[in-house]
Amino acid sequence: MASKAQDRSIDPASLIMLKQAEKEGIETAWDRYEKQQPQCSFGQLGICCRNCNMGPCRIDPFGEGADKGVCGATADIIVARNLLRMIAAGAAAHSDHARDAVLTFKKMTEGKAGSYNIKDEAKLKALAVEYGIPVEDRNREEIASELARALLEEFGKQEGPIQFTRRAPEARLKLWAKLGIEPRGIDREIVECMHRTHIGVDNDPTHILLHGLRTSLSDGWGGSMIATDVQDVLFGTPTPIKSTVNLGVLAEDKVNLVMHGHEPILSEMILEASEDPNIQKLAKEKGAKGINIVGMCCTGNETLMRHGIPTAGNFLQQELAVITGAVEAMVVDVQCIMPALGALTSCYHTKFISTSPKADFPGTVRMEFHEETAYETAKEIVRTAVENYPNRNPERINIPDEKQECMVGFSAEAILAALGGTPAPLIDAITGGAVKGIGAVVGCNNVKVKHNYGHVNLVKELIKNNVLVVTTGCNAIACAEAGLLVPEAADQAGEGLKSVCEALGIPPVLHMGSCVDISRILVLASAVAKTLGVDISDLPAAGAAPEWMSEKAVSIGTYVVSSGVYTVLGTVPPVLGSEAVTGLLTKGLNGVVKASFAVEPDPFKAADLMIEHIEEKRKALGLEP
């Protein structure tokens, strides 16, 4: 049988592991995707409804069969309801992550989470000021305690406002208010999504989608933003730092512990625990040269950004890391963790350790993580990994050499600091034309796209055309692996962008963090818009999610568009079964929130769409093309 590996990824390290998997008959996501072919057409078009037990109902997309469900719901209604549920799930994932971060923060202020403390006091005070909490002549514990309560209230608020929405430009706030889509409370909007999509509640596609916009805003300017900022207070606001990425960061002669998932609450403790002298000693006794902690997915992005901890890869590399045969422990919390890891790790010596009270998987060793006992549990986790080192089968170890240097840690604060404290130099570069605009490229991996192909090619096209790229999530890791996150990558940028990058010593692609950190992009966009005295939708900026797959990405795309940024999706969302919804998303929204979606699977054409949009916005601002 011909090797399929070549068609599955553009990343050399991943190709080595894919070939290894093929040789050993190990199943990966790509094989399972093949077995799912052809995928259900009703599902792809979004025209099946399982919301009540008179169904399941389906609409015939070719008009010969049923054109309504039992309750009378048309394709438009069914597609809109399904989309709203996707937004709700995505917003819930981000916001529940935020809740855990705030609860940890609160427990810390109450002295119940002794392993945590305040790492960024300046940010603590800045956030307190935003909330109108007095900071003068008060100790930081008092301020933190009051801030924790205020942040926690955002989840249960009934009538808003969510404080961080006030970071948006005045014009945007007015627009949201006029449309009635200002979020009233994080949990309320998500609950209302589930209510509205229950049988016989909201059945007007536009009305349904407007609530989708509101819910997504409760994520972007609520849950996600709170997660980012509280994590900065607890673990430090990222500043530029160098590190390495890709599967080659796994060590041949050290205990490899991979931290996979999303919440730094766990990973920060594991990092600390791994430095414990007793555990270090134990590692030596077990024959290892040390303990190698690496990240994966967005947990990886969190520790990469704050500590320069190497990252082994993005979403589609989670199985490949195990296939190296060199992972002693795959430690997971929540989100984007494949249940397939259970069966896969059972083929190796790897311990699959689940830690979140709300997430377990087949074949795990359960080590539930609670703030009160965070450090002790983290130590147990690291010890389990160390004790597993002698169980390695040296004959099965195959770690690719590929690893790539990267410069990361560009929080909005760090970018502004690099620019001298104000966005003015960036604005000058944009108005002067050296930088055409800003491209925000984010999102997951998806087996429907050759791994990293969409990400890397889209970003390369943008920088070639003098568009400065900001990135988070799996795109950030893809760019890092492709060598785009080093200052030298400026050579691949157009002349204008190249000169700006060289002057500032920065890469043409700025790593801004994990997927909740897309909130940092909102903050940056807002700062630029405010300085220019315009709305975000007036900026020469565009977004893209070339390989998106998760419901979180649906919420993200929606809040980015609702914030005024035109966004190109690389995989088709399940909405094409409704002309009305498709039309609204790709055109109609322009008349509502002054931005819309586009779908373009070809990354080169997607880049063209973004550049075209940026040029239009430049023209509208009276800037040279």
Partner 1 sequence: MKEVMIRPERCMGCRSCEIACAVEHSESKDLFSAIGESPVPCKRIYVEYIPDLAVAIPITCRHCEDAPCTTVCPTKALSRDEVSRRVIHSPELCIGCWTCSMVCNYGVIGRQKEARVAMKCDLCPDREIPACVEACPTRALVYAEVKDFSGIKRSQAALKLAKGMQTGSIP
Residues that bind partner 1 (CB under 8 A): 38, 40-42, 44-45, 58, 60-65, 572, 576-577, 579
- The residue with tokens 């520790």 is 303
Which candidate, 356, 253, 267, 371, places its Cα nearest to that of 309?
A: 267
Select 77 or 210, whichever has its Cβ closest to partner 1: 77
Can you state the angle between helices 297-307 and 224-235, rounded to 10 degrees?
40
The tokens describing 69, both together, are 């469900």
Contacts (Cβ under 8 Å, ≥6 apart) of 589: 561, 595, 596, 597
Residue among 504 and 572 whose Cβ is closer to partner 1? 572
Q: Which is nearer to partner 1, 47 or 330 (CB)?
A: 47
Q: How far apart are CB 317 and partner 1 at their closest, in Å?
A: 29
The smaller minimum CB distance to partner 1, of residues 48 and 186, is found at 48
Nearer to partner 1, 40 or 122 (CB): 40
Q: How far is the CB of 65 from partner 1 (least distance, A)?
A: 8
Calpha distance 293→363 (Å, rounded): 22
Smallest gap, in angstroms, from Cβ of residue 370 to partner 1? Answer: 43
Nearest to partner 1 of 69, 261 (CB atom):
69
The least CB distance from residue 61 to partner 1, in Å, is: 5
Of 341, 384, 347, whose CA–CA distance to 362 is shortest? 341
Within 8 A by CB and 6+ apart from 84, the residues are 193, 196, 197, 208, 209, 211, 212, 215
In the complex with partner 1, the residue whose CB is nearer, 56 or 420, is 56
Q: Quick one: 46 or 238, whose CB is closer to partner 1?
A: 46
> 183 or 577: whose CB is closer to partner 1?
577
Q: Give the tokens for residue 418.
A: 């690099």
Pick the closest to residue 438 from 457, 454, 423 (CA basis): 423
Q: CB of 56: closest distance to partner 1 in angstroms?
A: 10
Choose between 160 and 583: whose C-beta lies nearer to partner 1: 583
Tokens 């900001």 sit on residue: 470
Min separation Cβ 576 and partner 1, Å: 5
CB of 46 to partner 1, least distance (A): 11
Report in angstroms how near the CB of residue 619 gets to partner 1 at its nearest.
31
Comparison of 43 and 421: residue with beta carbon closer to partner 1: 43
CB atoms within 10 A of CB 39: 10
Query: 3-class secondary structure for 154-185?
Result: HHHCCCCCCHHHHHCCHHHHHHHHHHCCCCCC
Which residue's CB is nearer to partner 1, number 61 or number 483? 61
Residue 545 in 3-state DSSP?
A: strand
- The DSSP code sequence of 387-441 is HHGGG--GGG-------EEEEE---HHHHHHHTTSSSHHHHHHHHHTSS-EEEEE
What backbone phi and psi angles, to 5 degrees, belong to 600? Answer: -150, 105
- Give the number of C-alpha atoms closer than 13 A to the C-alpha of residue 327, restricted to the C-beta side: 32
For residue 43, the minimal CB distance to partner 1 (Å) is 10
| Least spacing, CB of residue 58 vs partner 1, in Å | 7
Q: Peptide bond preceding 56: is omega within 30 degrees of 0, i.e. cis? A: yes
Q: How far is CA 466 from CA 268, 404, 484, 540, in A?
A: 37, 24, 14, 12
- Tell the smallest beta-carbon distance from residue 331 to partner 1 (Å): 36
Q: CB of residue 42 vs partner 1: minimum separation in angstroms?
A: 7
Which residues make Cβ contacts (< 8 Å) with residue 547, sequence separation at least 6? 443, 444, 445, 446, 448, 449, 451, 452, 454, 455, 474, 475, 478, 570, 571
CB of 574 to partner 1, least distance (A): 11
Q: How far is CA 86 from CA 92, 183, 209, 216, in A?
A: 10, 17, 11, 10
Q: Which residues contact 414 (CB under 8 A, 6 or more apart)?
A: 237, 238, 239, 240
Q: How far apart are CA 286 and CA 291, in angstroms?
A: 11
C-beta of 64 vs 136, nearer to partner 1: 64
The least CB distance from residue 47 to partner 1, in Å, is 10
Report whether 334 contacts 31 (CB < 8 A): no
Which residue, 44 or 492, is less far from partner 1 as judged by CB? 44
Structure tokens at 441: 């490229």
Which residues lie below 8 Å from residue 423, measured CB to CB, with a gap of 6+?
416, 524, 527, 528, 531
CB of 480 to partner 1, least distance (A): 32
605, 456 contact by CB (below 8 A): no
When the beta carbons of 257 and 598 are compared against partner 1, the nearer one is 598
330, with CB counted inside 10 A (0-12, 13-18, 19+), is buried
C-beta separation of 104 from 233 below 8 A = no
Identity of the residue numbered 311: T
